[in-house]
Amino acid sequence: MTDPSLKLIVLKTTDTEALRQFYTQIGFEFAEEQHGSGPVHCSAALGHGVLEIYPLPDGAHADATTRLGFGVANLHSVLTGLGDDWTPKQTEWGLRAVVRDPDGRAVELYETIGSES
């Protein structure tokens, strides 16, 4: 049996710009893309995979039940950039804060050392 690896996360939203700004603050670098006649969307490298932000169809609502987790090199700096009063806590998994993206998804941020982020 082979070990699976994450290749793609697609987040759908009614406000692509707000979501792009939020995840940019975490450290993602987005480029605008369009595949064929599909919608214009944002794409960023995520390790050996991709994080994409797509617009939702009119009348649809974003799924706020998805929970994501990312390692970041400087958690305090990221939290300051997000602008809210997020307080990191030391856990058995390291320094961690749980924030919410503009659509309400819980996003766990872990401080990592070196190239692990």
Which of the 8 DSSP states describes residue 37? T
Contact 28, 107 (CB under 8 A): no
Question: 113 pLDDT exceeds 70?
Answer: no
Alpha-carbon separation of residue 82 from 23, 41, 62, 111 (angstroms): 9, 22, 20, 15
User: pLDDT for 55-104, tens place per residue?
Assistant: 999 999 999 999 999 999 999 999 999 987 888 999 998 999 999 999 99
Q: Tokens 């090199």 — which residue?
A: 73
- Give the domains, in start order, of the chain with CATH numbers: 8-116 (3.10.180.10)
Q: Give me 49's structure tokens.
A: 């995979």
The per-type count for the chain, helices as H runs and strands as E runs, is 2, 8
pLDDT of residue 76: 93
The sign of the dihedral angle between the CA atoms of 103, 116, 48, 31 is positive
Instruction: Single out the residue of 47, 62, 48 nearest to residue 14, CA to CA.
Output: 62
pLDDT of residue 117: 42
pLDDT of residue 115: 44
Alpha-carbon separation of residue 16 from 45, 52, 73, 98, 110 (angstroms): 17, 10, 25, 21, 24
Question: 18 pLDDT exceeds 50?
Answer: yes
User: pLDDT for 30-59, tens place per residue?
Assistant: 999 999 999 999 999 999 999 999 999 999
